[in-house]
Amino acid sequence: MPFQSQEDSSQSIASWQSTAACLQAVLLPLVFVILHGALLLASGRHAWLVSLIFLTAAPLMAGTACLYRARRDGYVRGWIALAVAMLLWAGGMAGNLYAGLVLDSWSGVGALSMLLFILYGVPIILVLAVPEHEHWLVRLIDAGLALGLGYLFFRHTFAFATMADASPENVGRLRSMFDIENLFIVLFALIRFHASADPAQRRFFGSLAIYAILYLATAAFINHLHSDVYYGQWPDIAIGLPFLMLGGLALADAGAGDAASRASLSFEQAVRVGGPLMLPAMLLIVSAVLVRSSPVHAIAGCAAAILGYGFRNIFVQIRSLNAHDQLERLTLVDALTGLANRRQFDASLRREWLRAHRTGEGLALLMIDVDHFKLLNDSFGHPVGDRRLHDVAQALAACATRASDIVARYGGEEFAVILPAVTPSQAMLLAETMRGTVERLDLRSPAPLGHVTVSIGIGHIDHVADGDVAALIAAADAALYEAKQCGRNRTMAHPAATE
């Protein structure tokens, strides 16, 4: 008997499970349809009751399968939205069942049932239109637009459905509104399917697209060809088919592989940016359809679409600008100390050098080094060293009280301070203040003095001519070197060489 590896065995089990899931997804709907048809044939005058029970059970089964899929794996947000949609549709059909059993009335669809049938599309449209990871306020605006869309559908659909003398024109408009909603769901499900790079999302939107296409065809078949036929007839079997297909897709696809064809990046970005247009576009289209029959609601729908999308864009732009500012700040600020980083220091020093050249004022640069910092790191560890750097940085920044003074982390344990429009004596006074402030912090250190100290070198130029800023840096570096050579914890100054 040939040896079968563990990997081959796992693949065989996975293949068997996939085949079993597919058979289950096909057989259960088939049994459901056969049972529905057989009971319709055998029920006689109670066939309407059989149909309503089966048409309530079909979306409930589909919703249960969607919840199972959401719990098992895949795109949880999408499958839960579909489950909610199925529950709403089943609720609408259950309302019909209640009316037939308790009220014994077929005078029209009740307001509650019609509302549930209309709201069925809201969670589906939301999951299609709202990109993932949006802020809760953006989701709230989108939810408001979706509910507004559902409200327009409900108000006018219910008005037409309960009119005893509804004209053919109004009935046609009603059917068109349902077709528009179903067609939008199909189109955007296909777009999201082709734009999804994530395998779980791609499988979800593929399943939703198949379901939506079948639902669109079934709804058009019933609404346009059999709208005057009461429940209990053979066309009822077709009504349950989309829900059975969705339940089968949810079961058959559970645990499927993660392979997916990646859409182009530009197409993904276009869909992500354009997706939020879906809700206001639908509101505008539905409002346009209703202009002649209900101008007040049409105007309200247009206003909701424009204002809702406008507020959404304003909030998204604000968040985008805040994110941009934060990102820009991160590129200019040292993460450990909160001071300006080397990039910001270089740009600021060049800017102040040019300003000093124009104004004729002096410019000073302090180069500050933490004494015996390598010994501190080796003895206490890098986390303690980082805390010492942060504390020193805050002390230095607190001493630079002028808005024009710029304190930066130059690199490692070294800091730099740019002092525009100062004299050598003013620069020396501030440097000594900084040195003394750090020493008074009394931060424990293995250095000879037992606490953290700094050495400071001052470079100063009285008048900037045509020289290079490197001369100022060189003077400050030379002064710092001298301060360290002379025993550390002191301040030295050197004038910058000028041409």
Spatial CA neighbour of 250 closest among 28, 35, 51: 28
Alpha-carbon separation of residue 55 from 95, 96, 235, 370 (angstroms):
12, 10, 12, 78
Spatial CA neighbour of 285 closest among 183, 163, 165: 183
Q: Could you tell me the two tokens for 151? A: 């409200």
The span from the CA of 392 to the CA of 436, in Å, is: 11
Q: What is the 3-state secondary structure (H, E, C) of 382-410?
A: HHHHHHHHHHHHHHHHHHCCCCCCEEEEE
Q: Could you tell me the two tokens for 155? A: 């108000």
Burial of 68 (0-12, 13-18, 19+ CB in 10 A): middle
Spatial CA neighbour of 363 closest among 457, 444, 461: 461
The question of whether 432 is a catalytic residue gets the answer no
Could you please report the per-residue DSSP string of 79-138?
HHHHHHHHHHHHHHHHHHHHIIIII---SS--HHHHHHHHHTHHHHHHHHHSPTT--HHH
The span from the CA of 77 to the CA of 404, in Å, is: 51
The span from the CA of 479 to the CA of 492, in Å, is: 5
Please tell me which residue in 134, 413, 439, 482 is annotated as part of the active site. 413
Q: Could you tell me the two tokens for 322? A: 């805040």
Bridge-based pairing of strands 363-370 and 414-420 is antiparallel
What are the residue numbers of the active site?
Answer: 413
